[in-house]
Chains A and B, each alone.
Chain A
Amino acid sequence: MSNLAKIESDPNYQELVRRRSSLGWTLSLVMLVIYFGFILLVAYAPKFLGTPLGSGVTTIGIPIGLSVIVLAFVLTGIYVRTANSAYDTLIRKILEANRS
């Protein structure tokens, strides 16, 4: 248990938890807003999504739908990039400090 308390009081650990939680939940929230924004458009404004782009038949709903897919990938990329650099460094430091 003392080992547990030692890790919990490690500033690196506290930084890791703070940063990962805030990024993880923020990005989750962003994804929720994007997706349910899209669903609410589908539910309440289907005609808006059916607005043609220019004079063609392609509607504004097509790029909006596709960009939700692309954004999902981009957000995932942002998280993984941050985690690969910042979090893994912190975790390594925590492991080193608590190896005994």
Chain B
Amino acid sequence: MKKVSWLSAFLLASVPSVALAAGAIEAGAKQATNWSAIGMFVGFVALTLAITYWAAKRTASAADFYSAGGGITGFQNGLAIAGDYMSAASFLGISGLVYTSGYDGLIYSVGWLVGWPIVTFLIAEQLRNLGKFTFADVTSFRLGQTDIRILAACGSLVTVAFYLIAQMVGAGKLIQLLFGLDYWIAVVLVGGLMMIYVTFGGMKATTWVQIIKAVLLLSGATFMAGAVLYKFGFSPEALFTKATEVHPKKLAIMEPGSLISNPLSAISLGLALMFGTAGLPHILMRFFTVKDAQAARKSVFYATGFIGYFYILTFIIGFGAITLVSTDAAFLDGAILEKTKSGIAAIKGGSNMAAIHLANAVGGNLFLGFISAVAFATILAVVSGLALAGASSISHDLYGMVIKGGNANEQDEIRVSKIATLVLGVLAIFLGIVFENQNVAFMVGLAFAIAASCNFPVLVMSIFWRGLTTRGALIGGFLGLVSAVVGVVLSPAVWEVTLGYAKGSAPIKLDNPALFSMALAFAGIWLFSVLDRSRRAATDREGFDAQYVRSQTGIGAAAATTH
């Protein structure tokens, strides 16, 4: 009886607070905010739809659809890569993480950046020289097409699915708070627009949506971080001093905290972030949109600069939110504030909204509208990139290469890709609704674990190791994929939080499985390749020399365009 009344009290306490938050936005005082945000967002959508229309008229061949005809320059692609990578989960999630935990957010930022040098040194040029539309073109270059394409498609689709969930959840939360729309309507809206961009405009539209969004996001974040620093006389020390005064954790926000619970967990997360970057299908696909290996290499350099700069801004934005948002009753939920006495915990809409509220605090309603529209645009752009990567994997790898054995009619393949986009869109909407209450930054971490444990090991071994065989890649890749997924399900975040088992009962204590799943993948690839004495294995090894020469020199690489 007592338990029931406690539960109902909790429900009663939380339900009105949600209603209050929505009510406050609908109330007269914030009408202007709504309209400027909606206006700017509608402007962005109109612009991107116009681009999609333009792109659709120029998208005829498979090369146009998958790789924008190879006509993107290194600088443009650098911006587009940054656009793909600076997701709403990293913008809202990391600034939110800095807001609640301070320094811990920087650890995530660093991890998210350090994969890029590895991509430059080992992957980018080789990928461009060997592949055409998807990274599976590279992994299956000298290996058995059918098996390796299926493996790559599984790795791509599972990665894309987790990443998509995070983006959809972010979209729903944001629009719910901002426009007072229901969560599910927001998710449906994002899914719907994404399907339009990708099915009609293919890679061309997706790339330009990314570029515009990257420019908007970088300018908005620059303004916000600048405004925060301006308020503190451009003295980070003054900003940090104020933050440590108002944050309940005080000086602890200036050092690593509870986010990294144990050393193994920290290393595991680090591995996932670093090598996951080099295994994300929607990022790898970007290297086929430029004309040659040199442009591919340059584009990663630009991207690394943009992304690094952006993460530094995010850190400042998080601290800005501590000082300016958690201290201002206008951004806080009265009921939670009453209960917890913490401005940090009481933020309206949860910690992922820290950057959004900060926009209002430093730039007023108009800037709030701008940043909200940019955040929404970010989600749209990233889900489009993801959907295109997922759809390409289905149409190019599964349909074109596995089912049709490489002899698919080009128009049929594009049609399959469009249908796949629609299916993925519906799936993303459904999963977005199911996973409403997960922390978005964490979901992305899970996607990285899978990319690092399945896609990356197979890709890097296929490029550099002569001894790799089809059987080795297949068994090792699936070992990595399965162990990453199982590790995620048995980790505290899913086992205890999502599935609701008792705290501390998770069978695997690591928040991120990359440590053992990557090790399993590499060990599996090595062992089963070395033991492989089949006829296929001999062919696989014989093909290495020709592949290596092409990966180094680009001789024979897919041309920029098929026209």
- Check B116 against A7 for contact (C-beta < 8 Å): no
Q: Kindly state the separation between the CA atoms of A75 and B311 in the bound complex, as whole angstroms.
A: 17
Contacts A27-B121, A31-B118, A58-B254 given; indicate if A84 touches B294 (C-beta within 8 A): yes
Q: Which of B4-12, B45-53, B502-510, B546-554 contacts A (4 or more CB under 8 A)?
A: B546-554
In the complex, chain A residues 8-49 whose Cβ is within 8 Å of any chain B Cβ:
8, 13, 16-17, 20, 23-25, 27-28, 31-32, 34-36, 38-40, 42-44, 46-47, 49
Query: Which bucket holds chain A's interface residue count?
Result: 35 or more
Q: Kindly state the separation between the CA atoms of A91 and B111 in the bound complex, as whole angstroms.
A: 33
Return 30 A-B CB contacts under 8 Å, by A number. Answer: A4-B549, A8-B549, A16-B552, A24-B121, A35-B114, A35-B270, A36-B270, A39-B267, A40-B263, A42-B256, A42-B260, A46-B260, A50-B255, A56-B237, A57-B244, A59-B255, A61-B103, A61-B256, A62-B236, A62-B254, A68-B110, A69-B113, A69-B308, A70-B308, A73-B304, A75-B117, A76-B120, A76-B304, A83-B297, A94-B555
In the complex, chain A residues 49-100 whose Cβ is within 8 Å of any chain B Cβ:
49-50, 52, 56-59, 61-62, 65-66, 68-70, 72-73, 75-77, 79-80, 83-84, 88, 91, 94-95, 98
Residues of A within 8 A of B111 (CB): 35, 39
- Check B553 against A57 for contact (C-beta < 8 Å): no
Q: Kindly state the separation between the CA atoms of A22 and B161 in the bound complex, as whole angstroms.
A: 37
Residues of B within 8 A of A27 (CB): 117, 121
Residues of A within 8 A of B274 (CB): 32, 35
Q: Kindly state the separation between the CA atoms of A88 and B111 in the bound complex, as whole angstroms.
A: 31
A residues contacting B by CB (< 8 A) are: 4, 7-8, 13, 16-17, 20, 23-25, 27-28, 31-32, 34-36, 38-40, 42-44, 46-47, 49-50, 52, 56-59, 61-62, 65-66, 68-70, 72-73, 75-77, 79-80, 83-84, 88, 91, 94-95, 98
- B301 contacts A by Cβ under 8 Å: yes
- Check A57 against B113 for contact (C-beta < 8 Å): no
Query: Which bucket holds chain B's interface residue count?
Result: 35 or more
Residue of B nearest to A69 (CB): B308
- Closest chain-B Cβ to A20's Cβ sits at a distance in Å of 7
- Check A61 against B254 for contact (C-beta < 8 Å): yes
Residue of A nearest to B120 (CB): A76
Residues of A within 8 A of B353 (CB): none
- Check B254 against A39 for contact (C-beta < 8 Å): no
- Check B113 against A31 for contact (C-beta < 8 Å): no
Contact among B118, B255, B256, B552 for A28, CB-based, below 8 A: B118
- Check B106 against A28 for contact (C-beta < 8 Å): no
Residues of A within 8 A of B534 (CB): none
- Check B122 against A72 for contact (C-beta < 8 Å): no
Contact among A20, A31, A42, A83 for B117, CB-based, below 8 A: A31
- Check B555 against A61 for contact (C-beta < 8 Å): no
In the complex, chain B residues 232-277 whose Cβ is within 8 Å of any chain A Cβ:
236-237, 240-241, 244, 251-252, 254-257, 260, 262-263, 266-267, 270, 274
Contacts A16-B552, A27-B121 given; indicate if A73 touches B308 (C-beta within 8 A): yes
Contact among B114, B125, B255, B262 for A47, CB-based, below 8 A: B255
> Which residue of A27, A39, A40, A50 has the most chain B CB atoms within 10 A of its CB atom?
A39
Residues of A within 8 A of B254 (CB): 50, 52, 57-59, 61-62
In the complex, chain B residues 315-371 whose Cβ is within 8 Å of any chain A Cβ:
none
Beyond contacts A49-B255, A57-B251, A91-B553: 20 other A-B pairs, Cβ-Cβ < 8 A, are A13-B552, A23-B121, A25-B122, A32-B274, A35-B110, A35-B274, A36-B270, A39-B107, A42-B266, A49-B103, A49-B256, A56-B237, A68-B113, A69-B311, A69-B312, A72-B308, A76-B304, A80-B120, A80-B298, A95-B553
Number of A-B contacts (CB under 8 A): 155
Residue of A nearest to B545 (CB): A4
- B109 contacts A by Cβ under 8 Å: yes
- B43 contacts A by Cβ under 8 Å: no
Contact among B244, B267, B294, B555 for A98, CB-based, below 8 A: B555
Residues of B within 8 A of A94 (CB): 553, 555
Q: Kindly state the separation between the CA atoms of A23 and B109 in the bound complex, as whole angstroms.
A: 26
- Closest chain-A Cβ to B497's Cβ sits at a distance in Å of 23
- Closest chain-B Cβ to A6's Cβ sits at a distance in Å of 10
Residue of A nearest to B261 (CB): A43
Residues of B within 8 A of A80 (CB): 120, 297-298, 300-301
- Closest chain-A Cβ to B263's Cβ sits at a distance in Å of 3
Q: Kindly state the separation between the CA atoms of A71 and B94 in the bound complex, as whole angstroms.
A: 20
Q: Kindly state the separation between the CA atoms of A24 and B257 in the bound complex, as whole angstroms.
A: 34
Contacts A13-B552, A27-B117, A57-B254 given; indicate if A65 touches B270 (C-beta within 8 A): no
Q: Kindly state the separation between the CA atoms of A76 and B122 in the bound complex, as whole angstroms.
A: 11
Contact among B255, B266, B305, B312 for A66, CB-based, below 8 A: B312
- Closest chain-A Cβ to B396's Cβ sits at a distance in Å of 27
Residues of B within 8 A of A25 (CB): 121-122
Residue of B nearest to A54 (CB): B237
Residue of A nearest to B260 (CB): A42
Q: Kindly state the separation between the CA atoms of A1 and B255 in the bound complex, as whole angstroms.
A: 59
Residues of A within 8 A of B298 (CB): 80, 84
Q: Kindly state the separation between the CA atoms of A28 and B262 in the bound complex, as whole angstroms.
A: 26
Residues of A within 8 A of B312 (CB): 66, 69
